[in-house]
Amino acid sequence: MKIGLIQQSNTASRSENIAKLEKNIRTCASQGAELIVLQELHNGLYFCQTEDPVVFEQAETIPGPSTVSFGKLAKELGVVIVLSLFEKRAAGLHHNTAVVIEKDGTIAGKYRKMHIPDDPAYYEKFYFTPGDLGFEPVQTSVGKLGVLVCWDQWYPEAARLMALAGAEVLIYPTAIGWESTDNDDEKQRQTDAWIISQRAHAVANGLHVISCNRTGYEPDPSGVTNGIQFWGNSFVAGPQGEIITQAANDKDENLIVEIDLSRTETVRRMWPFFRDRRIDAFGDLTKRWREE
């Protein structure tokens, strides 16, 4: 499978961001990418730095404008595209939703972000209802895609459940970065933890992991914080956690990489974690905490 990851900086102009995405999608397709992954909430700025009811006007239905426009592009270029949209399901009911567009322009499936953060500069609970579609991979012409979103990438349970459902690859559209008051050592620890966690998902499940993050600086409209410097570092890891390709942290970049999905079979034969799981002893995982 040949994959394109589009890591880009965004502005307040949605039309400019979408035009930039289209140009980058065409570039990736011209280089042979069959699957193209976009970053989280790619049409605009990362609006969750504040809680503003006006922002709900940016939400769209699925199907809707983005699935139609990117669907036409997918059909023209013959590629599968992973979108990340602010979904309006009903009045007062919204989700952070990844949509997979098939090569013929149709919607192959979608995933609603399950883990919703609520931290300074990441006030997502104000906007998004937790997903209700479970951890179900999306079957496409290029394979069975286990699509998760950003904050989901910190949870090994989510990766495991996608793998158990037959995902051939894990995909994480992402928007994560540094708050400028953190010192350089802390910034490095945060980035390392982010990469290590996802590489661990690759190892534990014997799968390739595709992580597509945004880059660039976006100010906090409220002025309460110093804004977010998105740290880029989009990457693809192999089934043993090896980094196959990785973008810089400070610039727009398209990554093109070819992966061999048959390596999952080879690695799982050597490291049979699924064989040795003690599923008879895992019942407490469904508890919030084990009291003494």
**210 phi and psi angles, rounded to 5 deg:** -115, 120
Q: State pLDDT tens for residues 267-282.
A: 999 999 999 999 999 9
Q: pLDDT-derived band of residue 141, with 50, 70 and 90 as boundaries?
A: very high
> Cα(190)–Cα(194) distance, rounded to whole angstroms?
6
pLDDT for 24: 98
> Cα(109)–Cα(86) distance, rounded to whole angstroms?
16
Q: What pTM, to 2 d.p., does this model score?
A: 0.97
pLDDT for 50: 97
Nearest-CA neighbor of 40 among 229, 172, 225?
172
Q: State pLDDT tens for residues 185-200.
A: 999 999 999 999 999 9
In the chain, what are the domains? 2-286 (3.60.110.10)
CA dihedral 141, 144, 149, 155 (to 10 degrees): -170
- Cβ atoms of 265 and 248 within 8 Å: the answer is no
Q: State pLDDT tens for residues 229-252.
A: 999 999 999 999 999 999 999 999
Query: Is residue 181's pLDDT more than 90?
Result: no
Strand order in the sheet with 107-112: 107-112, 93-101, 80-90, 35-38, 2-7, 253-258
Mean pLDDT value of segment 74-89 = 98
Q: State pLDDT tens for residues 91-106.
A: 999 999 999 999 999 9
Q: Which residue has the tokens 């992991």?
A: 209
- Cβ atoms of 150 and 175 within 8 Å: the answer is yes
Nearest-CA neighbor of 160 among 28, 285, 292, 75?
285
Active site residues: 40, 113, 150
Query: Is residue 136's pLDDT more than 90?
Result: yes
Mean pLDDT value of segment 47-70 = 98
